[in-house]
């Protein structure tokens, strides 16, 4: 299937679910030009984006690849897909939180260097992050 054919499927799914490209972009936490690019055949969503798109438009992922029968996935597969999507969303939240905390720690460090923030507070923050994410500099990354 070409990106253009895929884009037509996305347009049909969005229209059928009465979801605008702008709303879909907001749901997927991406720029609206990305969705319009998909519809125009200039690219395709990644697997996680496609799973969310399928869920929001109440289509199966297989339908986007040309499955003609509007079959319903088995309940077990549907539950697994939903569980995986929930896990991905939780991980995205954790990554966001970690980025926020790292940024705040950087700000504390800047202020500590300027003498406006207590260095003890910075050390507590770093220790908390190390413990929370089990960061060990001596352990090789997997």
Q: What is the pLDDT of residues 43-101, one digit of tens each?
A: 889 888 998 999 899 988 888 887 765 555 566 667 777 788 888 888 888 888 888 88
Residues 56 and 79 in one domain: no
In total, how many domains does the chain have?
A: 2
Residues 108 and 87 in one domain: yes
Question: What global pTM score does this model have?
Answer: 0.51
Tally of CA atoms within 13 A in the half-sphere of 27 that contains its CB: 19
Sequence-ordered alpha helix ranges (H) in the chain? 3-16, 21-28, 32-39, 47-57, 61-64, 75-113, 119-132
> What is the number of other CB atoms lying within 10 angstroms of the CB of residue 99?
10
Q: What CATH number is associated with residue 60?
A: 1.10.260.40
Provide the 3-class DSSP secondary structure of residue 137.
Answer: coil
Residue 141 lies in a domain: no
Residues 7 and 60 in one domain: yes
- Pick the last residue of a domain from 64, 97, 116: 64
For residue 39, the enclosing domain spans: 3-64
Residues 122 and 85 in one domain: yes
Residue 73 in tokens: 């996935």
Res 137: pLDDT: 60
Residues 88 and 59 in one domain: no
């Amino acid at each position: 299937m070409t990106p253009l054919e895929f884009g037509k499927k996305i347009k049909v799914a969005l229209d059928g679910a009465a979801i605008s490209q702008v709303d879909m972009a907001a749901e997927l936490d991406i720029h609206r030009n990305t969705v319009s690019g998909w519809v125009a055949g200039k690219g395709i969503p990644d697997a996680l984006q496609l799973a969310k798109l399928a869920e929001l438009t109440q289509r199966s992922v297989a339908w986007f690849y040309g499955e003609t029968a509007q079959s319903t996935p088995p309940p077990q597969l549907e539950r697994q897909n939903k569980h995986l999507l929930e896990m991905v969303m939780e991980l995205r939240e954790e990554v966001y939180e970690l980025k926020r905390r790292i940024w705040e720690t950087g700000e504390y460090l800047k202020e500590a260097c300027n003498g406006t923030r207590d260095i003890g507070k910075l050390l507590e923050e770093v220790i908390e992050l190390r413990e929370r994410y089990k960061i060990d500099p001596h352990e090789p990354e997997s």
